[in-house]
Amino acid sequence: MISLDFNFNILTRDLSHYLENQVKVGLFGSGVGLSLVLGFSAAYTCYYLISVAKKPQLISGGKKFYHFLREQCPVVSETYYPTFWCWESRIQTLLRPFVTAKPGVIYRNELIKAADGGQISLDWFDNDDSLSHPDPATRPTVLLLPGLTGTSRESYILHMVQQSRDLGYRCVVFNNRGVSGETLLTPRTYCAANTEDLETVIEHIQRTYEAAPLMAAGVSMGGMMLANYLGRKGRETCLKGVVVFSAGWDVFECTASLEKPLDRFLFNSYLTSCLQASVHRHRPVLEKCYDIDHVMKARTIREFDERFTSIMFGYPTNDDYYRDASPVHRLKSVQVPMLCLNAADDVFSPSHAIPVEAVKQNPNLAMLITHHGGHIGFLEGLWPRQSTYMDRVFKQFAKAVIEQGNRLKDLS
């Protein structure tokens, strides 16, 4: 802090000296204009370094997992420098899909059958050119779960595939029913609380590559589904580790936050329309069981869930669904190493609902909280096109789990 104050004093002195000796020009002359620009730039830089760029907070329920992360994932200890021209939460959230690049990835699609007669679409990136793991039978596999209306073509998914490719791993993306262009065979889609399709997918991957280590990464609702799955399964899973990004831990708090006027305008209405568009695409099979006209009149995610999701999955009320979908209630039962990344300014998952105390009670959990980052934003660098802070967390943690996973056994 002494160094920062000293630098600030020097900067102020130099600026004052420059202003005093500025060439005398009119109020709107170039000298005054340059002075104003320099003054604003200096003030903005000081504000950014003091209030915006901060080290993340790492919380864990056990010392063993905490020290493992500090040692194997240096990103958890580094200062996060959000992109200086778009560090605000909503701007990060809105710009990420447009600013970040979409790496070229060629998938191999596979459709597998579900117990109810439906089908699940999996997009595989086999990485047959892997030098570090040339044998497909033992090549590590990373299962990726996109967000609420996301698919394997989302930029954040493509970035994780790219990071996995660099590590020599294979990836498979679990697309929720009906969102990636496949035909909906039964009147059932998906929700954060129901993990039956996820269990089917994990069992299928394990049968296909029995000798290959398997880990998973979930984003937003995909992360919620993963956390709920781990909470239900306990030790009865083949997953070696899990990383979760921008999950909503308490659905009541998430929906309440998104119903605030600005966030409803920016995010809630758009996501509701995306959900309705998916329903409309599959109307012929869904209208046999649900009042689709009523669903299409929903104006918020809560109204959509009241009219469609909670009814589809048999909940007496929407509150019952939201309670069951909230991963916070199952964190105590997680028995697999799980790292969670949330931004304190994420309007989808407000900071007061981040389950810090629950994480402290389970040695298998770790929570990494950045001061800024928004929802699946985490943009950094002058022009954050190729990589984000979230990408770096994913890559380092995936490598640590796959290559140092034996050290994560028995974290209690």
C-alpha closest to that of 345 among 275, 263, 410, 273:
263
Closest CA to 338 of 176, 248, 227: 227
CA distance 338 to 69: 11
Determine which helix (DSSP H) or strand (DSSP E) holds 220, and give its type and residue range. Answer: none
- The residues that bridge with 111 in the sheet, in sequence order, are 121
Contact yes or no for 271/301 (Cβ under 8 A): yes
H helical segments located in 347-388: 356-360
The two structure tokens encoding residue 315? 């909940």
Cα 65 from Cα 411, distance rounded (Å) = 7
Q: How many CB atoms lie within 10 A of CB 296?
A: 16
18 Cβ neighbours under 8 A, 6+ residues apart: 35, 38
Tokens (6 digits) for 36: 């104003």
**Closest among 354, 349, 343, 340 to 393, alpha carbons compared:** 340
Let me know the angle formed at the C-alpha of 106 by 168 and 206, rounded to the nearest 5 degrees. Answer: 55
- The catalytic site residues sit at 220, 346, 375
Show the 3-state SS of 65-111.
HHHHHHHHCHHHHCCECECCCCCCHHHHHHHHHHHCCCCCCCCEEEE
Q: Looking at the DSSP assignment, which residues form a beta bridge with residue 113? A: 119
Which residue, 9, 38, 3, 54, is CA-closest to 372?
A: 54
C-alpha to C-alpha distances, 31 to 13, 26, 36, nearest whole angstrom: 18, 8, 9
Structure tokens at 146: 């996109």
